Every structure is written in C-alpha cells, then in structure tokens.
Structure 1
C-alpha cells in the first residue's frame, strides 16, 4: 500500500526556516569595533557607539602613501636571501636549473629598473614628490644589489671574462711550479 503522505522535511531545512534564538549577551563584554549585531534588531545601550569614521586628512594620506612607497622600495631586498640560497644550491656547473636561476636573477631586476616610475606613480603627490624621489633611489639601489647577486653567480660559474687569457687567445698558459705524481 502506498501512502499519500508527503515525506517529512529534513532537520536542516527546518533549521533554515526557523533559526534558533540568539543567545543572550553576557554583561560587561563589549562588541568588537565594526560589529553591528543582528541586522533586523539594532541594539540599544551605552556600550554601542555608532560614529561615522571621518575621512583621513591630506597629511595622513601622504604619510600612508609614503609608508607604502617604502615597502615597495625595500621589496626587492626581501627576496634576495632566498635567491642567493637557491643560486648557491644550484651549483656552479652549466645545467638547465642554474641557467634558469641566472636568467631570473637578471630578468627581475632589469624589469624592475625599467618600471621604476610605474611602481611609484600611485604614491606620488605634489606635496611628497621629494620623499618619493628618495624611495625611488633606494628602489634602484636595491635592484642593483639584486643584479650584483646575479653577477656573483655567473662569476662563480666561470662565465665572466676576468683574466687576461679570456681576452687574448695567444696568451701563453702559466707553467706550473710543481707537479704532483700519483703514487700507488
């Protein structure tokens, strides 16, 4: 026999239709800043303060923009320890991994140097242009420091021509002063 009764609704549907009552607030605990409580019933009391936030002044905005500009200026240095460790761990032989590391060590600072003005244009105003120029100079110095790490790596790989024999093919090889002979 088939019953014509509709199936009972699941428990979670019943909870969605009629949510449980909110727990009472413990006295003495203040709501965190920005907490508005339940949207249907605004709370009233001495601990609830709804004051609109005043917009920051021009000096406060310039100070904040300068702080953010210094964060951008010092960002290239934050990645240098990891880059140096990766370059050290990749070894000095010519392998695909070490070549990719050297490529990235040169590409990132060069791209950063070419986009210096774009990195700082959102922070620059008429009143802080002198201070932004200082952050740009620090940013350029940090990019050159990052390039120095790449130069250190290609020098350790032996790819920099640093001796006279690298430049002159007719240069005589040095004669060794001593010879070592293997003994059995």
Structure 2
C-alpha cells in the first residue's frame, strides 16, 4: 500500500512561487507613474554626485549633529524642574545623567565630526564644531542650575564651609536658677 499523498499546504510550501508577469497580475499602475519616470529615476540615482553636492550634504548633516543638543535643552529643563530640589535618588540620577551626556559630547567632539572631514569644508566645519560645543555647554549650565537649586553649590553662607568664622548669636541665653 503506497503512503498517502502529502497535504496541499506542504506541496505549496515546497514548490517555487509562480512568476507573475505584468499582464498576469492585472494590477494597474498608480496614478502619476509611468515607465519613462522609472527610467529617469534609476539613471539619475546611479549617476555619481558632484563633489560640491557631496560637500553641501556633509555640511548639512554636520549642522544637524551640531544642533541636536539644542533640541534636548527644553526636554531636560522640564525634567529637571519636575524632579524637584530635594536630595532623592531620582533627582540625583537625573542630575548625573544631565552632566554625563554633555561631558561625553565635549570629549568626543572631534570623533562626532570625523566622517564629515574634507579639505573643501574644513573652515566651515570649525564653526559647526564651535556651535556643537556651545550647545553642550548650555546643557552643562542647565545641570549647574539644577545643582544650585538643590543646594549643593556653596554659593551662600553656611556653617559647614571651612573658611567661615563661627557665627555669634545675637542674644545670649542666661539660665536662671531659682
């Protein structure tokens, strides 16, 4: 007795997909699509880009990277305001992350722009790097504002500062033994 034939789904799974020609699919082209447009798009995409266009694109992408930290300033400012000024693990971690990002960004400034280096745009790239550094410094200033708000900066007189003299009370307390 021969084995039973495999189910239809097994046969369909193991057989190759039938090739559909354009006429067999009978799906009309979308409005505005013609074969001449397809040829011009493929020919223009395969053409090599001019060095001037490449430099302009590199400079545009460099500016996007330079201005990216400025987009973080409003978000971080709201987060720092909402976390409060008390010394809790949440606010301490928020401040730590606020300092960590810009410091790493300042250290890796040249590494962030190495892929955009070219002799023709070297002078313009210096200005882009300067804006990037300014944006990172603005984020650091936000962190300093938060640390000051938490009372961790020694900007006011307090008893724990070593160079301050001992405060003298305005009134003397006298104990009366009666």
Give the alignment's TM-score, normalised by structure 2.
Answer: 0.76
Is there any run of 5+ residues in structure 2 with no aligned partner, and where?
171-178
CA drift of 1:113 comes to 0.7
- Equivalent of residue 92 in structure 1, options 60, 85, 100: 85
The equivalent position to 1:119 in structure 2, one of 109, 112, 131, is 112
Q: In 2 relative to 1, CA 31–11 (structure 1 residues): closer, same or farther, beyond 3 Å? A: farther
Q: 1:17 to 1:87 in 2, by over 3 A?
A: same
Contact 1:113–1:140 under 8 Å retained in 2? yes
1:49-87 CA distances to partner (integer Å, 9 max, x unpaired)?
253620101111100100110011011122222222222
User: What RMSD in Å do the two structures reach over aligned CA positions?
Assistant: 2.8
Task: Note closer, same or farther for the CA distance 1:93–1:57 as it changes in structure 2 (3 Å cut).
Answer: same
Aligned residues: 161
| 2:26 counterpart residue number | 24
CA contact (8 A) 1:165 1:171 kept: no
Supply the distance in 1 between the matched residues of 2:169 and 2:65 (Cα, whole angstroms). 50
Number of the residue aligned with 2:55: 62
Alignment partners' CA distance in 1, 2:68 and 2:8: 54
Unaligned runs of 5+ in 1: 33-44, 176-184
Separation (CA, whole Å) in 1 of partners of 2:141 and 2:167? 31
Among candidates 164, 167, 170, match of residue 169 of structure 1: 164
8 A Cα contact 1:30 1:47, kept in partner? no
Q: TM-score w.r.t. structure 1 length?
A: 0.74
Cα distance, 1:173–1:13 mapped onto 2, change above 3 Å: farther
CA contact (8 A) 1:74 1:142 kept: yes
CA contact (8 A) 1:77 1:142 kept: yes
Does the alignment pair 1:9 with 2:2? no
